[in-house]
């Protein structure tokens, strides 16, 4: 008798079996939202006054986090990422800025790096000054901005 009841319950269950996909779809959207919120967009603003040099062995960096941007213009002036307002007069001003930015980056658990954008016509002594200032502030990794090949000019 028990087996007849069991067979009857399994026959009815098999005839109307459907998988409800709505919880799975909800979970996919929740995961998508989670990853979008946690993703960090790394944007480095380019100074229009700086034209980086061309390097045949240049490579794109995989990790753009923790960068402290300094632009070195042809005339030897130093500008930060917000090139409208961030003008640094000398090595001491650069060192102080790097130290402030380094503290913010280290608090996030990231290794800070100097992102140096030197103009192709600027003398290297200006870049060396920025590197020395960053080293004095405790940042010993330097990333140079270069074009990996000549930029194409479409007309």
- 112 pLDDT higher than 60: yes
User: How high is the pLDDT of residue 30?
Assistant: 92
Question: What is the span of the domain harbouring residue 104?
Answer: 44-155
Domain count, the chain: 2
- 1 pLDDT higher than 60: no
Say whether 136 sits in a helix, a strand or coil.
helix
Query: Which tokens belong to 102?
Result: 């380094």
Cα 115–Cα 116–Cα 117 angle in degrees, nearest 5: 120
24 and 86 belong to one structural domain? no
85 and 104 belong to one structural domain? yes
Question: Which has more confidence, 94 or 89?
Answer: 94
From the number of C-beta atoms within 10 Å of its C-beta (0-12, 13-18, 19+), residue 129 rates as middle
pLDDT digits (tens, 9 = 90+) for 118-139: 888 888 888 888 889 899 988 8
For the question of whether the overall pTM of this predicted structure is more than 0.75, the answer is no
Is there a contact between 106 and 65 (Cβ–Cβ < 8 Å)?
Answer: no
27 and 97 belong to one structural domain? no
Cα dihedral 22/26/27/31 (nearest 10):
150
pLDDT digits (tens, 9 = 90+) for 24-69: 899 999 999 888 887 766 666 677 778 788 887 777 777 778 888 8
118 and 135 belong to one structural domain? yes
């Amino acid at each position: 008798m028990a087996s007849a009841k069991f067979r009857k319950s399994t026959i009815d269950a098999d005839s109307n079996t459907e998988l409800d996909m709505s919880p799975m779809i909800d979970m996919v959207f929740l995961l998508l939202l989670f990853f979008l919120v946690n993703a960090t967009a790394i944007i480095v603003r380019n100074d229009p006054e700086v034209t980086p040099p061309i390097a045949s062995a240049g490579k794109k960096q995989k990790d753009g986090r923790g960068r402290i941007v300094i632009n070195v213009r042809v005339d030897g002036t130093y500008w930060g990422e917000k090139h409208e307002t961030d003008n640094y007069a000398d090595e001491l001003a650069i060192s102080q800025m790097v130290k402030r930015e380094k503290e913010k980056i280290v608090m996030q658990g990231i290794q800070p790096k100097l992102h140096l954008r030197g103009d192709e016509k600027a003398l290297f002594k200006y870049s060396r000054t920025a590197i020395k200032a960053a080293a004095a502030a405790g940042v010993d990794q330097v990333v140079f901005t270069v074009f990996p090949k000549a930029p194409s000019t479409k007309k």
